[in-house]
């Protein structure tokens, strides 16, 4: 879907407290999260403007976003498990 907001916290509302805590306490998570949100913003802006880049470059951006989301989710679930125990 075009121009869909993929904000990390919207995709994982059940882990909101963990996201906030990691964003505050973990510089690596914070940097990755900022990069993820910048990529998501850039992709949405390109979609709004009619994708003024070729499909290969757009797919590369979306793939980077997906990889970052996976990295963040792994960090997040590891943190959540540690806090739960």
Per residue in 5-58, pLDDT (tens digit) is 788 889 999 999 999 999 999 999 999 999 999 999 999 999 888 878 899 999
Q: In whole angstroms, what is the distance from residue 1 CA to residue 37 CA?
A: 17
Phi, psi of 27 (to 5 degrees): -60, -35
Residue 3 has pLDDT above 70, yes or no: no
Is the pTM higher than 0.75? The answer reads yes
Q: In whole angstroms, what is the distance from residue 77 CA to residue 22 CA?
A: 11
Question: Hey, where are the domains in the chain?
Answer: 10-84
Q: In whole angstroms, what is the distance from residue 71 CA to residue 12 CA?
A: 14
Q: What is the pLDDT of residue 6?
A: 80
Q: In whole angstroms, what is the distance from residue 17 CA to residue 80 CA?
A: 9
Q: What is the pLDDT of residue 1?
A: 54
User: If you count them, how many residues does the chain have?
Assistant: 85
């Amino acid at each position: 879907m075009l121009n869909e907001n993929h904000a990390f916290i919207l995709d994982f509302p059940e882990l909101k407290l963990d996201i906030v805590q990691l964003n505050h306490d973990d510089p690596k998570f914070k940097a990755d999260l900022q990069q993820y949100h910048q990529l998501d913003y850039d992709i949405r802006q390109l979609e709004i403007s009619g994708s003024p880049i070729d499909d290969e470059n757009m797919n590369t951006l979306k793939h980077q976003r997906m990889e970052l989301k996976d990295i963040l989710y792994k960090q997040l679930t590891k943190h959540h498990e540690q806090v739960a125990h």
